Every structure is written in C-alpha cells, then in structure tokens.
Structure 1
Amino acid sequence: MGQTAHVSAAVWTSAVSALSLAVWLWLLLGQGMYWLTDVRLPPRRDPGDWPSVCVVVPARDEAAVLPQSLPSLLGQDYPGRAEVILIDDGSGDGTGELARELARHQDGLPLTVASPGAPPPGWTGKLWAVRHGIVLARAREPEYLLLTDADIAHAPDSLRSLVAAARSGGFDIVSQMARLRVTSFWERLVVPAFVYFFCQLYPFRRIGREGTKRVSRTAAAAGGCVLLRTEAAERARIPDAIRNAVIDDVALARAVKGSGGRIWLGLADRVDSVRPYPRLGDLRQMISRSAYAQLRYRPLLLAGTVLALALVYLVPPSAVVVGAATGSAATAVLGASAWLVMAGTYLPMLRYYRQPAWPALLLPFTAFLYLLMTVDSAVQHHRGRGAAWKGRTYARPGAVPEEG
C-alpha cells in the first residue's frame, strides 16, 4: 500500500512538472513573444507642422521627486506650441508651491498650477486631477495631451519623439513604460519582474495590432507616459468613462481602443521613474493597492491566479528538489527544463534593466512574493483598506452610485 502511494505520488509529481513545462513552452512561443524587450518607439518622421500639446501632470505629495522630474518637462525641446499643467491634488507637502518655484528658476515651457479640490464620490484622486487638467487644457485647444506622472523624468526630446511617432503611425495613444528605478536590493529583485509580469499579461506586440478578436481586444498603456490625441479622448469620454478605475492606464487604453482608436505601447529608453522603493514594504504597498483590482475583486479569480502562479513559477524548482530527493530523474529533468525556460525568458528584461543574469534563477522566489502580495491585496480589500494610496482608500467600482 505504501509503495503504491509512493509510486502514485511520483507519477503525479512528474505529471504536474510536465504540465508546467508545457505551459512554459506555450508562453515562450504563443504569448506574443512577450519576453523580448525590443518593442520601442515605432519608426517616425518629423511632421511638417508640429501640433500643439498640453502636458497634464497630476501630483499629490510629490515634493520629494518634483525637482528631478518637473524641470525635465519644462525643458522639453519641442518645435511646436506646448505647455505644462500641474494639478496639485490636495498635497500637504507644498507640491504646488515648489512647482511654481522650480518654474521661476528655469526658462522653458510655461507652467500652470491648479487644484481641483477633493474628488467627489465615484472618482479616484488621480483621475479627478486629470479631469481638471484636461478641462484647463481644452481651453488651449491642443491636438494632443501628454498625461505623465509627477515622478517621471523625460529626456529633452521625449515629447518630440512621442508626437512624431503618433503622427507617423496614426496612433491615438503612444505610451511608453518608463524605466523604473533599480538601485536597492529589493528594487533589483522585484522591479524588473514587475515589468516582466506586466508584459506577460499584456504582450506589447499585440497591443498595437488589429486582427483576430483576441489580438484586437488586447489593450494597455503605462500611466507614467501617455500621449493621447484630444479627439480620441473626447470620443472615449476620458477620463469620465473610467473615473473610478484603480488601474487607470489599462482602463484608459481599453476605452480608447474600444471607441475605435489605435494604440501603441512599448518600453522607454529615455523616460525614467525617479520614485524610490528602497524597502520591500514600499514595493508591497505599490503592488498590493492594485493587484486585487486587476482580478476585478473576484475571489474565484484570486484562487485561479494563486494556482496558476504556483503551477507556472513554483512547481519547476519544487520538482527539481522532489526529483533529487526521491531519485526520480524524470521529475527533476522536467522541473529543471521548465526552470531554465523561465529564466531564459527573463534574461532580456534583466538586460534592459542593466542587471546581472543571476536574478533570473530567483524568479520563482520573486513570483512567490507577488503571490503573497496579491493575497494581501485581497485581504486588505476585505478589511476595508484596499486600493489605499497616499492617505486615500477607494471603494470597488459599483460600491458608489454612478453619476447620471
């Protein structure tokens, strides 16, 4: 009886290991080549006439990072008419005053600083600030809006490159995922994986393509850097149509693509986040605030996600250990093969972040951290502390009556 149970356990372990390897082979070849990092700004040419642009920056308690980011926007080398509108979202650290002071000491694009007051029920603070910024921008009648976060620093030619790419490709959205800061140990371990997992969920190559229903509905943007055609924003009712979205960048892209717009998303070369996440707790807060929202607040999706993460990321190293301990060469080989494919797909992202190769073998551990953070996100939500950010906690969509 005991020997039969031992054989059955060995067969079951080998079967699960084989399934994990099969999933990794499918991810390698069938998920839009998500693991490659060569999706950068598309081919572009300078337009004959440069359209006007308003840069909208929502900012709440950003005095620590504003000296690194705002001058990069004010100093944009843009041939057309452009200006910056910073919306101070109820900051308590003097963000608005600091922005005005920075603008006084730098020649460049004109700056307007305004504050919309507290967001009404049904709005997230960021989107309420964005709405106020867009209202102010429309008075200038810009052809494009650049929605960028207060922690994002742009190279001097960033705006020029974004507009040229949008005009050349006929895109309503051109979005770049800013290169996040990778300095501390935890940033090195977690941040490249964060972008890797995002690419796995939203393969960049599919986002800009039309074709099959599956491909055409793939939509995402990176909220730190979104160039948006004003006409497309009006057609998609941005931001009113997504006013309670916690993951606002993906919601924005879906709304624009759903209204017939064309979108493009890729990795940035010269757009960088200057926000530090030195401790694991900082990263946990950043991830946990939106993880359960990504699962649409559904316990069944949470359970399925936990099982999927375990199968894809935790089974391979576990199979190597179990195979070595039980003398099952088949189990160990299957697990090692899946682990190597996993590590191989992660290497391009590590190179993009200028990191050594060894963290690729630690991806199962990092995925386990993400699993715990996802569960923590659900726990915090059910305790009434979900989607908390900078002193605000947002209700799940539907918990607040919609506007008429």
Structure 2
Amino acid sequence: MSTLAWLSIASLAAWIWLLLGQGFFWRTDQRLPPPRRTPPGAWPRVAVVVPARDEAEVLPLSLPSLLAQDYPGDAEVFLVDDGSTDGTGKLAVELSGRYGGLRLTVVSPGEPEPGWTGKLWALRHGMALARARGPEFLLLTDADIAHEPDSLRRLVAAAVDHDLDLVSQMARLRVASLWERLVVPAFVYFFAQLYPFRWINRARPLATAAAGGCVLLRTETAVAADVPEVIRQAVIDDVSLARAVRRAGGRIWLGLAERVDSVRPYPGLGELWRMVARSAYAQLRHSPLLLVGTVAGLVLVYLVPPVALVAGVWSGDAAAAWAGGVAWAVMTGTYVPMLRHYRQPLWLAPLLPFTAFLYLLMTVDSAVRHHRGRGAAWKGRTYARPEAAPDR
C-alpha cells in the first residue's frame, strides 16, 4: 500500500478511538442536572463577582440579566472595574439605577501586581470583598455573559442537591457572522474533545476543567483551594481553577449551558484568531515538542482524511480513498451534535477539516507570538510568559 493509504488508515483508527474511547466527547447531553429533591427551604447566600475591563459595549446586554435574577435567597453583585478606559464602572452604576434588581457594588482595585493576570487580580479583590458578606457560594461570571432569570437559582439548586463544590456551564457563544459559524462551534467541540465532560463529571474523574464564563464555586472550597492566589499567573484560568478545586478535594461538574449566553461579538476572523492565539501556546505549556506533536496530530486526524479521499480517487488509490472517506464521514458525524446545539446548518459539518486547519495556524501563530516576546495579549495587556494550567 502507498504511504497515503497507511496515513489514511492511521487517521481512521484515530477516529474510531475518538468516537468510542474519548468519553463520547461529541455528545451534547451533559446539561445542568435536574433537582432530585425539593429545593432547600433557606436558599444559600450568593455573591456574584464580575471582572470587567473595557466592557461598555456588552455590559448593557449582560449586567441587567444578572441584576434581574429570580433568586429566592440573598444575592448581590460585585463588579470589579479592572482599569477600564471606556467608562465601564460608571455605566454599571447607571444600569443598576435604571433596572434595579439585585444590589450592585462597583470597585476598582488598580493595576495588577507583578505575577498576576488582570482577570485574576480583579477576581481576587471581588472575591475578598464578597467573602466579607459571608456567602456560601460565589458565582464567577464574565462581563459578556447574559443569564436567563432562573440561571442562578438552577445553578445553586444543582450544587446543593448534588453536593458539588464547583458547577460550571459552557456558555453558548454568539454565532451570527460567517466566521463565527465556521469557528465558534468547533471551539467548543475541540474543548470537549480535550476535556470530555463525561470524564470530568464522573465520581472518579478522568479529566478536570471548567468554563470560566460561568462558575458557581462553594466559598469554603475556594478558601481551601487558595484561589485565586494559587493560579494568579494562569491565562487559561478556568482549567487552572478547576484543577485547584480538585486538588482541594472538591467535586466538579461541567456541561453545556442552555440558559447562559455570551453576547460578545466576534464578527471577523481577526477577532476570533486573537481569541484563540492568545492562549493556545500556553495550553501547550510553551513546549516546542508539544507544539510539533499537536500540529502532527491535527494534520493526521483532520487533514489527512479529505486529502486521502480526493488524492485516492484522483490517482486510483482505492485503499487511501476508502479509509480517508470513512474517516471524514466519522469526523463529520461527530460534529453534527455540536452544530445542532448551536442551531447551525448541517452542511457546515464536512467543513471541519478547514476549520481545524485554521486552528492549526492559530496555534502556530500563538507560539510565534510567544517567542517574539508578545505572549498573551488581551485588552491592552501582554503577558510574556503566562502559565497554562499548573498541576502543582
């Protein structure tokens, strides 16, 4: 057999493993667990902490949804203005006065100390201020995340009912432009492939992760895990947070959100590219060896099947065409549930190899940025050597 045929067979074998042996990552049925018993008579006190830097564009779409939470217990919102230059803090106060609802406190901690990323510096101050009020739970949610009115109630009920220390939902990201349709569902698909939700949610977990846009965290667990101090340099802070909680003995649940949405627009490829490239190499722990392995893996798993099918048909290499075609079909089938979750047309599924090629280029660009000293850049800040998700 030809070299291409052997490569296509190897790719097909990889897809059979991914289909059956990678925690059924492609399924989208890991949703917030329903209550198993009557909700608690006295609902726990909750503090909502929102780090915000230059979020005036999205805040009118997200903050009112937090203030309007239909929560039966005591809850309040702490928005931490992380050095914004667009009037984010002032706008938050105006929105609170206009919409009412939960009590809002706006604070500004100043520039982060050395060794801290901006978001975690903001969370440190917000969580410290919130803990002074004695909440049993902290809801850590990004400034671009909009919540349905019952979101907080459902999160707390799940945590109390299932005795969970961290409940996280992967917010449904905005999908409106052509580039968002091509890139965004694949972003969640790849995340689930790397961190299968079923493995995370097992009684004996095989993986650990969280989605930083929506994290309900038990306060005593946060103290025991020493967060956010222990992860203060992490750019991929959600995975780092989950690992810190797990090391402290906490129980974690992660799933797809149905009532939590990101309102941040990524209309062009450039915005999406920067979103991925700012942390991709950090996820690889800045290792050239891991980078080479990742690129080779993406080529074998995602690019070989369509190339083998087309080249095999063209050259008459039946083995390459057959194995490549079947591998591409399996790949396409595993992507369909995520497209349905995002309510996108299924004709996008066969285009996954093209999207994977874009992610390959983004990952390489992330490494190039790092080695040129630009590191992870976000909202005017650059972290030359950010950490990924430390295991310590």
Q: Which moved more, 1:154-163 or 1:318-327?
A: 318-327
| Alignment partner, residue 13 of structure 1 | 4
What is the aligned-residue identity percentage?
72
Asked if residue 76 in structure 1 is aligned to residue 69 in structure 2, the reply is yes
**For the residues of structure 2 that align with 1:210 and 1:311, how far apart are their CA atoms?**
33
Structure 2 gap segments, 5+ residues each: 388-392
Dislocated runs of 4+, deviation >3 Å: none
2:390 alignment counterpart: none
Q: Are 1:187 and 2:180 matched, yes or no? A: yes
Within the candidate set 390, 398, 403, 2:379 is matched to 390
Q: Give the equivalent residue in structure 2 for 1:151.
A: 144
1:111 — aligned with what?
104
- The match for 1:245 is 234
Whether 1:133 aligns to 2:126 is yes
Q: CA deviation at 1:47?
A: 1.5
| Cα distance, 1:30 vs structure 2 | 0.3
Q: Can you give the 5+ residue segments of structure 1 that lack an aligned partner in the other structure?
A: 1-9, 399-404
Residue 262 of structure 1 is matched in structure 2 by 251
Residues 56 and 94 (structure 1), Cα distance of their counterparts in 2 relative to 1, 3 Å cut: same
For residue 323 of structure 2, what is the amino acid of its counterpart? L
Residue correspondence of structure 1 range 166-315 to structure 2 within 5 A: 166-211=159-204, 216-315=205-304
SS in 2 for 1:317: helix
Secondary structure, aligned partner of 2:146: strand
Quick check: 1:39 aligned with 2:39?
Answer: no
> Quick one: distance in 2 between partners of 1:396 and 1:48?
48
TM-score (norm. length: structure 2): 0.97
Aligned residue for 2:243, secondary structure, equals: helix
What is the aligned partner in structure 2 of residue 320 from structure 1? 309
Aligned counterpart for 1:352 among listed residues 341, 355, 369: 341
Larger radius of gyration: 1
Could you tell me the TM-score, scaled by structure 1's length? 0.94
**CA RMSD, Structure 1 to Structure 2 (Å):** 0.9
Alignment-mate amino acid for residue 137 of structure 2: Y
Q: Distance in 2 between matches of 1:395 and 1:48?
A: 49
Report the Cα offset of residue 110 of structure 1. 0.2
CA displacement at 1:367 relative to structure 2: 0.1
CA distance in 1, matches of 2:317, 2:99: 67
Deviation at 1:325, TM superposition (A): 1.6
**Counterpart of 1:227 in structure 2: which amino acid?**
L
CA distance in 1, matches of 2:333, 2:386: 38
Q: How many residue pairs were aligned?
A: 385
Secondary structure in structure 1 of the residue aligned to 2:99: coil
Change (3 A) 1:98 1:168: same
Q: Please name the residue that 1:401 is paired with.
A: none
Matches within 5 A, 1:54-65: 54-65=47-58
Conserved? CA contact 2:374–2:384, under 8 Å:
no
CA distance in 1, matches of 2:324, 2:248: 44
